């Protein structure tokens, strides 16, 4: 099967109309009675050596997007083009080769490390699987990447329970980088850490990005972290992207009512330009029986009758082609 795409327009990763639905089954015969549309028509593209942020409330589909890109979940439809290759159409051999160039940093620095394995075995396992490196050469490469993430090579023979949460996340980062990937998915990499440690890990990720020319997909719900880390940001709601723009543009000029409400909730000290927090009224729609129109309709302060039947597409704002919004009132 030929999965090569001839023209990717300078993007390392392109996601086109990605849909990941989970069937809902009921009854003795386990008949499918509906679908949970966890990801419903998501499209975006990421240029090399940049950080693309994916933000939104818990349950909006951020992590499902990441796992769908890696084919860790069955995808309903769409395309994911990585380095001119369609991941969703790749066979087993092609997929293994692609995964040498894509890594994942997990949210939980405790649950993501096998407590029965030494740090050297945890970090070195990808080298054994993909490059067949063992023995002294493997230990040398593990020690080198440990020093890159700020840990002593002596850690190679120790176990995860001997480290703090921040140190464990550094081990997770080392494991993600051991194969020298092009693209790293950071799935809320600092949300489980103390605030004092978060800044250290964020600075480490930036330093490593500069050193190795890494491209990040940065998933988070903390907008202050996203503002610090990302070059481009997409805001998700109910499995869809509702706003997409360069980070500076998005934070200085949020347009979608949902984005505006999120921005108003960012804690700021003595900021004269800060708007009062906008409390969203109404309830999140039933994920199985979503409304036919705009999914934000039940909570939107600007909702009109037309919003109930018309699901607005993600389109550029006039005179600002890089700023996309899915809202009729803009």
Kindly report, residue by residue over 199-234, the tens digit of the pLDDT.
Answer: 999 999 999 999 999 999 999 988 889 999 999 999
Contacts of 299 (CB under 8 A, 6+ apart): 258, 280, 281, 282, 283, 284
Segment 248-257 mean pLDDT: 94
Tell me: pLDDT of 276 over 80. Answer: no
Segment 44-62 mean pLDDT: 94
Tell me: pLDDT of 278 over 90. Answer: no
- Distance (Å, rounded) from C-alpha 294 to C-alpha 292? 7
For 158, phi then psi, to 5°, come to: -100, 175
- Distance (Å, rounded) from C-alpha 261 to C-alpha 279? 7
* Of the candidates 55, 59, 12, 14, the residue with the CA atom closest to the CA atom of residue 39: 59
pLDDT tier for residue 6 given thresholds of 50, 70 and 90: very low
pLDDT tier for residue 2 given thresholds of 50, 70 and 90: very low
Domains and CATH numbers, the chain: 45-74+182-325 (3.40.50.300), 114-180 (no CATH)
CB 21 within 8 A of CB 38: yes
pLDDT at 302: 86
Kindly report, residue by residue over 302-322, the tens digit of the pLDDT.
Answer: 888 888 888 899 999 988 899
- Distance (Å, rounded) from C-alpha 71 to C-alpha 56? 22
How many CA atoms within 13 Å lie on the side-chain side of 122? 28
User: Which of 50-54, 109-113, 223-227 has maximum average pLDDT?
Assistant: 50-54
* Of the candidates 168, 141, 162, the residue with the CA atom closest to the CA atom of residue 153: 141
User: Which of 44-48, 110-114, 262-266, 283-287 has maximum average pLDDT?
Assistant: 44-48
pLDDT at 112: 92
pLDDT at 133: 87
Give strand pairing partners of 37.
21
Segment 70-85 mean pLDDT: 95
Tell me: pLDDT of 285 over 90. Answer: no
Tell me: pLDDT of 1 over 70. Answer: no
Q: What is the pTM of this model?
A: 0.91
Tell me: pLDDT of 328 over 70. Answer: yes
CB 173 within 8 A of CB 161: no
Contacts of 266 (CB under 8 A, 6+ apart): 223, 224, 227
């Amino acid at each position: 099967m030929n999965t090569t795409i001839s023209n990717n327009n300078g993007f390392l990763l392109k996601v086109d109309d990605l849909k990941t639905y989970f069937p809902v089954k009921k009854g003795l015969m386990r008949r499918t009675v509906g679908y949970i549309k966890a990801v419903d028509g998501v499209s975006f593209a990421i240029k090399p050596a940049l950080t693309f942020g994916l933000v939104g409330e818990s349950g909006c589909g951020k992590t499902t997007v990441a796992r769908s890109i890696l084919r860790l979940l069955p995808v309903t439809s769409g395309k994911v083009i990585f380095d001119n290759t369609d991941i969703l159409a790749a066979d087993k051999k092609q997929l293994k080769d692609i995964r040498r160039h894509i890594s994942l940093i997990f949210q939980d620095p405790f649950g993501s490390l096998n407590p029965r394995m030494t740090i050297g075995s945890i970090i070195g396992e990808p080298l054994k699987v993909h490059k067949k490196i063992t023995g002294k050469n493997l230990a040398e490469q593990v020690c080198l990447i440990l020093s890159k993430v700020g840990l002593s090579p002596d850690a190679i023979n120790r176990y995860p329970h001997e480290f703090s949460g921040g140190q464990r996340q550094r081990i997770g980062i080392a494991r993600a980088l051991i194969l020298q990937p092009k693209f790293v998915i950071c799935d809320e990499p600092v949300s489980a850490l103390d605030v004092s440690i978060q800044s250290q890990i964020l600075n480490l990720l930036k330093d490593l990005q500069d050193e190795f020319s890494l491209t990040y997909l940065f998933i988070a719900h903390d907008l202050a972290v996203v503002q610090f880390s990302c070059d481009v940001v997409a805001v998700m709601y109910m499995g869809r992207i509702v706003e997409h723009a360069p980070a500076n543009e998005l934070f200085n000029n949020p347009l979608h009512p949902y984005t505006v409400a999120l921005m108003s909730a960012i804690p700021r000290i003595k900021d004269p330009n800060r708007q009062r927090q906008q409390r969203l009224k109404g309830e999140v729609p039933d994920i199985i029986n979503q409304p036919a129109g705009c999914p934000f309709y039940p909570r939107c302060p600007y909702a009109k009758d037309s919003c109930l039947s018309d699901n607005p597409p993600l389109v550029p704002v006039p005179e600002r082609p890089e700023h996309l919004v899915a809202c009729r009132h803009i």
